[in-house]
Chain A
Amino acid sequence: MTNSMHGQWWDQWLRNWQALAAPQRPANPWAAALDEWSRVLSPPTPTYADVFARMLAQGKSFFAFGDALGNSFESQDKGLDAQALFLRSLENLKQGWDAQLWPGAAAPAASGLWQLPLESWQHTASTLTGMSVDALHGPGGSAPTLPWMQQQLERMLAIPGLGYTREHQEQLQKLGSLMVAYQKAFNEYTVAYADMGKRSIERVKARLTEREAAGEAPIESTKALFDLWVDCSEEVYAEFVMSDDYVRLHGEMTNALMTLKKQERTMLDDSLEAMNLPTRREMDTLLQRFQQTRRNEKALQSEMRALQTTQKELQARIVALQKSPSARKKKKTKSKAKKKQT
């Protein structure tokens, strides 16, 4: 990192530090500072860019805690009870999860922790289908599409195709329907995730109450609270992902994505065929035949090697037999007989 970059970064931190005391500070000043910082700097080297991006992203989750605590302190300055405020902020966070389920609502800052696996899935699904995250999951990423919108879309997609392009229309309608089916499955999965997120907050509250009752030392750092949050999240997650409900949701979402992907492939192959270009289907047929030919070739090579080994063994035995005393005696007898004849 160059000195000037360092300088810009610290300047930004200073500005955010000052912003903490300002009357109209940003909602998440620490996270905002990190955003600003990552914009100023390019990744260290292409090799590490990905890792550093992950660190920045997770740093933001961590800073969201700091921001949430900062908000609590503002109220504390006004003479309110710290613990009550903290518990209230947890409650707000929980309610924020409900709001997050609908488009347009701002996700609670600390829910970033719970959004990451979903975002990661969206990215993977997007790569698999070749569609953008928004196109595949609806605008707003993890925000589920409203049910009435889905219903309208389903009705539109059910209109029968007419005319010369009927078959093509039907394929497109099928693709649309499968996309809606995937979005529905993804929405159910997202709702379950949000529910797990809420339960993780309950778990944090319960754990804090247990600590208090046990007379344990209070948590005094953001990192300690963050670690507790992670522990509770993992616990809640581990319980849910082993359940039949989760296995069903996970299976439905994955299978819906695969059905969509398969339809994409069929349509792409149809287009390629129309253009007189080789299709995936044809390539698969060729690869299958080729693989079988390879197996046959390897089997023949193996048989040939076995035959060669047998042949060598037999040759060795013949040589050994020829050199044996009985063989030599026989040979002598034969040559004598031959001489007599001549």
Chain B
Amino acid sequence: MSPVQFRPDHITQEMLDYAKKLGEGMETLSNLGPIETGVTPRDPVYEEDKLVLYRYRHPNGEPPHNPVPVLIVYALVNRPYMTDLQENRSLVRGLLDAGLDVYLIDWGYPDRADRFLTLDDYINGYINRCVDVICRQHQRERINVLGICQGGTFSLCYAAIHPHKVNNLITMVTPIDFQTPDNLLSRWAQQIDVDLAVDAMGNVPGELLNWTFLTLKPFRLMTQKYVDTVDILRDEKAAKNFMRMEKWIFDSPDQAGEAFREFVKQFFQENCLINGKARIGEHPVKLENLTMPVLNIYASEDHLVPPAASKALKGRTGSQDYTELAFSGGHIGIYVSGKAQKQVPPAIGAWLDDRI
């Protein structure tokens, strides 16, 4: 039997159906209205340059049962509203429901005035001052820090340099070993002259990074996704969910040139976190200084940060209390999938409750 059996009338019907769905999808999009993200009420508690530190309000007005606040440190390469995309897909909401007092750093959109911000400025400057603000507000000496992706690497560095200010450290989809054999981004970065790139561009445009991320799986992310979406566009709710995600994917801030240069060189090209040579400003970063309890969460199908890149933390910290949590899903699914809502925030809440 032939492996391909097409009937002209079926194919024609399929084409017509597709075109019809596309037309209906266009109508749905026309009526969709603005797409809102970042749904949980919050208040700005500290601002500096383009950074805003937010504290989230508990939806039911109940006080958090865990007295130690949690600071979420998100990556620079995308916008942090991924953690609070919509009501039923919100890591932030899940953490609030788990009884935590949640703060988040929004880095804003760097422009040319931020060109010379270094990793030292971000980690020992911005993050440190945010931690100080929260400590003062809660009259505590240390708080919990939850770092996501690149923000996880920042949090690791911060906690290793300032261990006395971090009660518990949680890393989510965080690269530690940047040169595992399956790390495509790292492979590509090896031949890039990052000094030349930063000298030429100043800040690194978000558009360029976007191209890089999309070309990790170009046919699925640039083509198949849109062909498949036509099937769901008739449903306004599904269309809104899709558009929210699209908004986030293409909402890529430019990267401050110096910080980008340092990050690519120290981590992607020289793998300094693993070999103990990382330095943030004047401070060496030693993973063995991570003496606080550590919860390391990774996604088993992560194509951006391979699980092995995250799992490399095991056995390298100075902590007597190291826990790993594997989430069965991808780099984005870990924040937004239905399964993640049920598994990840409650697990974080319970782990922190055991370590007040």
Seen from chain A, the residues whose Cβ lies within 8 Å of a Cβ on chain B are 1, 6, 9, 13, 17, 20, 30, 33-34, 37, 41, 44-45, 47-48, 50-52, 54-59, 61-63, 66, 69-70, 72-73, 82-83, 86, 113, 116-117, 120-121, 124, 127-128, 208-209, 211-212, 215-216, 218-223, 225-227, 230, 233-234, 237, 241-242, 247-248, 250-252, 254-255, 258-259, 261-262, 265, 280, 283-284, 287-288, 290-291, 295, 298
Contacts and interface: CB of A to CB of B under 8 A. Distances in A.
18 contacts: A13-B16, A17-B16, A48-B32, A54-B222, A55-B25, A117-B214, A120-B214, A128-B201, A128-B205, A221-B11, A225-B4, A234-B219, A241-B184, A247-B191, A258-B197, A259-B200, A261-B201, A295-B125
B217 interface: yes
A50 B250 CA distance: 10
Contacts of B225: 58
B200 A242 contact: no
B207 A209 contact: no
Contacts of A9: 23
B184 A1 contact: no
Contacts of B205: 124, 127-128
Contacts of A283: 112
Given A48-B29, A226-B227, A247-B187, A254 B4 contact: no
Ranked nearest first, the 10 interchain pairs of A and B with the lowest CB-CB distance are A251-B191, A58-B226, A262-B200, A44-B30, A83-B2, A208-B3, A291-B116, A261-B200, A218-B5, A117-B218
B220 A117 contact: no
Contacts of A20: 12
Interface of A (DSSP majority class): helix
B10 A220 contact: yes
A291 B184 contact: no
Contacts of B197: 254-255, 258
A86 B190 CA distance: 42
Contact of A120 (B18, B117, B222, B243): B222
B5 A82 contact: yes
A259 B211 contact: no
Nearest to A9: B23
A307 B184 CA distance: 49
Interface residues of B, number: 68
Nearest to A266: B200
A28 B250 CA distance: 31
Contacts of B220: 230, 234
Given A242-B187, A262-B196, A295-B125, A82 B30 contact: no
Most chain B CB within 10 A, of A34, A250, A262, is at A250
B229 A69 contact: no
Most chain A CB within 10 A, of B1, B5, B191, is at B191
Most chain A CB within 10 A, of B211, B217, B224, is at B224
A59 B230 contact: yes
Contact of B230 (A33, A55, A259): A55
A262 B211 contact: no
Contact of A220 (B6, B15, B29): B6
A221 B11 CA distance: 7
B288 interface: no
A222 B27 CA distance: 25
Contacts of A258: 193, 196-197, 200-201
Contacts of B26: 1, 41, 44, 52
B30 to A, nearest CB: 4
A209 B3 contact: yes
